[in-house]
Structure 1
Amino acid sequence: MSTFSMKMDIADNHFFTGEHSSLFSRQQAQQARQFHQKIAGYRPTPLYALNDLAALFGVHKILVKDESQRFGLNAFKMLGGSYAIAQLLCEKYQLDINALSFNTLKNSIKEKMTFATTTDGNHGRGVAWAAKQLGQNAVIYMPKGSAQERVDAILRLGAQCIVTDMNYDDTVRFTLQMAQKNGWEVVQDTAWEGYTKIPTWIMQGYATLADEAADQMSSLGIARPTHVLLQAGVGAMAGGVLGYLTNVYGAHELTSVIVEPDQADCIYRSGVKGDIVNVGGDMATIMAGLACGEPNPLGWEILRNCASHFVSCQDSVAALGMRVLGNPLGNDPAIISGESGAVGVGLLAAIHCHPDRDALMQKLGLDSHSVVLAISTEGDTDAKHYREVVWEGKHPAAR
């Protein structure tokens, strides 16, 4: 590969304590996974070993969890929405989630409900899917600039979908207002004062993918990853998955790198300061699923305590990851990874091609013994833009 420099601001976490949260343990993740296993069509998404790419990059293993193959929805997000909605209904009707499936839940609902949420695409699609499975209604709000393909995917699931003229965080506030006015249940993956129970369930639902990955690594003879790359929007997925991984492997034994677009790097800025920092404006990044400016306080607490590094990077890093995963080296499998899904591997590729490669590798503790786990959180959820990046070279690595 050529040598070129891309914008990657890497900050060490000076506020690391390694303190674990009991809310995001292996036990909690396995309860969520047991629920997901009872949904028709469940199967663990693949964990691919990119051995030829690992050899090129100078690490022992690169493992990529491919969430594009989750229930035909092309993204991981339904894990959180479906679990939270199930928990909400179990609480409402005094049911035991450990003894229930979606079918039994559906038969237990005595009155029609409407679930409302804000989404950049994947979370709303997951909520709409869960509502449809349960015979309920969903109203999904999306921020300005949302891709029509993502809107259409939600509409096909029978939900209402409204694109606002606001950014993501302002749309969240608008959704809350509309839900209060209409008596809807808000199923949002971020938290605020007085609203923490449902976001906690969502984050616990996300940890199903981490529990699967742990089993898959064990079956490959891999005792543990040395590194995990987690992308962050509000930090719900990153927090839920990191909470699980640190419970299983130990925060001090795992180098965890949280990656964000530089146009919406609220977690990075919070990591530098040691306290929550919000980012405003349009947050115009191709990583639509990460275009969030206000951290989830639940996720932020885990990331502050247990993340090793925070990274803010330009969009071209994600585009590079999309091309690398979609055009594999040697015998590695091809992975169709969208803008928000590919940024972790994009970071590895950008480091490999950087003039200061050795210093960056050393900073992150990457060497020939490293086992790196990355989560490809979505496939080509905006197929037109995917082709523009991978086929036409949009957002080039070097200018």
Structure 2
Amino acid sequence: MSRFSIPMKIADNSRFNGESMALFSREPALQAKAFHQQLPGYQPTPLHSLSGFANQLGVANVWVKDESQRFGLNAFKMLGGAYAIARLYCEKYHLDIQHFSFEKCRNAKQEKMTFATTTDGNHGRGVAWAAKELGQHAVIYMPKGSSQERVDHITRLGAECIVTDMNYDDTVRLTMRTAAEHGWEVVQDTAWEGYTQIPTWIMQGYATLAVEAVEQMPQPPTHVFLQAGVGAMAAGVLGYLVDVYGAQALHSVTVEPERADCIYRSGCSGTLTAVAGEMNTIMAGLACGEPNPLGWPLLRNCSHQFISCDDRVAALGMRVLGNPLRGDAAIISGESGAVTMGVLAAVMFHPEKNSLMQRLGLNDQSRVLLISTEGDTDVQHYREVVWEGKHSISGCNNQEHQND
């Protein structure tokens, strides 16, 4: 087998204490899943067991939850946006979320609402979908560098989409100001002072995929690797998993691009730490510089390690998932979706594989859960990576692995 090293930084969490949070636990997760189950077209997304890869890596099992199959939207994000919009609508019109119906509300003669959000693509698509299903308006802002394909996904759902000349976090601030001027409802998956209820609902909505995964896995996982942008999905999913299995029994790792590694830096410093600048990474869904303060306490308490990695790690994950070993399922996973598999593959090919396995607590008894959060949401770039070799491992062999 070839040996090469792709730059990754691994930081052990010295502040781990295993304390969970009631906001992101079993009860709200099960309530969110009950909501999603009543939506037309709902079905749990597949959980694939990649036994061939697991055997090559030297672990007992690697499970991959394939969120490209979620409601035909090619990503998990609608779980949060749709749930938050439904909760918001029910609160405004004094309805019971347990009896909510998009169809009934769409036909109700109520004043039209406009939902606004900032997105790198997938979250905006989910908000646009929910607004359309509800018969309402959506205005979606995207940071500079957003691909035309991701814009088209949103506008085809009837939403207005505006690409700014700012990075993600500055675009969030623009969205807030514009929404306040026009009286729009902001549906954002990060929080700030005075804005916590909607991002809480979004994060609770994400937990539906964790509830499904627990129901699908034949045995409890020993490890979970979760990609993080602002940390909303990572915290929403991890909160449910640690409530079910216990934080001590589940070795949890967050993974980010090195150019937008705000959770990694927060983990190293012990306090919320932002990343500024361009954040030019192929992992568009993770190109966020400011951690979600709602999710950070749980990630600080319950993550065992934080990883910051090169874009080539995500590209490797895309190739491995799309071109599996004999007997394993092929999974079409986008840049943000594949980065956790990329970490495992980078470990497998690394000249210091054994020491990295030990560092991450991986052995022949380990059962690892990964979430492929998106499919090929940018088809052209997916082909450039998987077919044409963009962001290849060429030149990586002499790179040194870094431990923090």
How many Å separate the matches in 1 of 2:102 and 2:17?
39
Q: Which residue of 2 aligns with 1:99?
A: 99
Deviations 1:229-269 (A, max 9, x none): 10000000001000010001001110001000000000000
SS at match of 2:295: helix
Matches within 5 A, 1:251-330: 251-330=247-326
How many Å separate the matches in 2 of 1:162 and 1:109?
29
How many Å separate the matches in 1 of 2:106 and 2:43?
21
**Which amino acid counterpart does residue 168 of structure 1 have in structure 2?**
Y
Matched, 1:247 2:243: yes
**Which amino acid counterpart does residue 44 of structure 1 have in structure 2?**
P
Matches within 5 A, 1:187-226: 187-217=187-217, 221-222=218-219, 224-226=220-222
SS at match of 1:263: helix
Q: Which residue of 2 aligns with 1:124?
A: 124
How many Å separate the matches in 2 of 1:363 and 1:102?
48
SS at match of 2:281: coil
Q: Which residue of 1 aligns with 2:358?
A: 362
- Deviation, 1:98, is 1.2
Deviates more, 1:19-28 or 1:125-134: 19-28
Q: Which residue of 2 aligns with 1:351?
A: 347
SS at match of 1:62: strand
SS at match of 2:62: strand
Matches within 5 A, 1:19-98: 19-98=19-98
Q: Which residue of 1 aligns with 2:229?
A: 233
Matches within 5 A, 1:148-187: 148-187=148-187
Matched, 1:334 2:339: no
How many Å separate the matches in 2 of 1:92 and 1:137?
16
- Deviation, 1:107, is 3.8
**Cα distance, 1:289–1:109 mapped onto 2, change above 3 Å:** farther
**Which amino acid counterpart does residue 239 of structure 1 have in structure 2?**
A
- Deviation, 1:95, is 1.1
- Deviation, 1:26, is 1.2
Q: Which ranges in structure 1 are unaligned for 5 or more consecutive residues?
A: none
Q: Which residue of 2 aligns with 1:143?
A: 143
**Which amino acid counterpart does residue 335 of structure 1 have in structure 2?**
I
Q: Is the 8 A contact 1:271 1:310 kept in 2?
A: yes
How many Å separate the matches in 2 of 1:54 and 1:147?
34
**Which amino acid counterpart does residue 171 of structure 2 have in structure 1?**
T
- Deviation, 1:104, is 2.9
Deviates more, 1:179-188 or 1:88-97: 88-97
Q: Which ranges in structure 2 are unaligned for 5 or more consecutive residues?
A: 396-404
Q: Is the 8 A contact 1:102 1:133 kept in 2?
A: yes
- Deviation, 1:94, is 1.1
Aligned residues: 395
Q: Is the 8 A contact 1:26 1:244 kept in 2?
A: yes
SS at match of 1:350: helix
How many Å separate the matches in 2 of 1:104 and 1:277?
44
How many Å separate the matches in 2 of 1:95 and 1:252?
40
Q: Which residue of 2 aligns with 1:2?
A: 2
- Deviation, 1:93, is 1.0
SS at match of 2:210: helix
Q: Is the 8 A contact 1:188 1:199 kept in 2?
A: yes
How many Å separate the matches in 2 of 1:99 and 1:128?
22
RMSD across aligned C-alpha pairs, in angstroms?
Answer: 0.8
**Cα distance, 1:45–1:14 mapped onto 2, change above 3 Å:** same
Q: Is the 8 A contact 1:4 1:398 kept in 2?
A: no
How many Å separate the matches in 2 of 1:101 and 1:157?
19
Q: Which residue of 2 aligns with 1:15?
A: 15
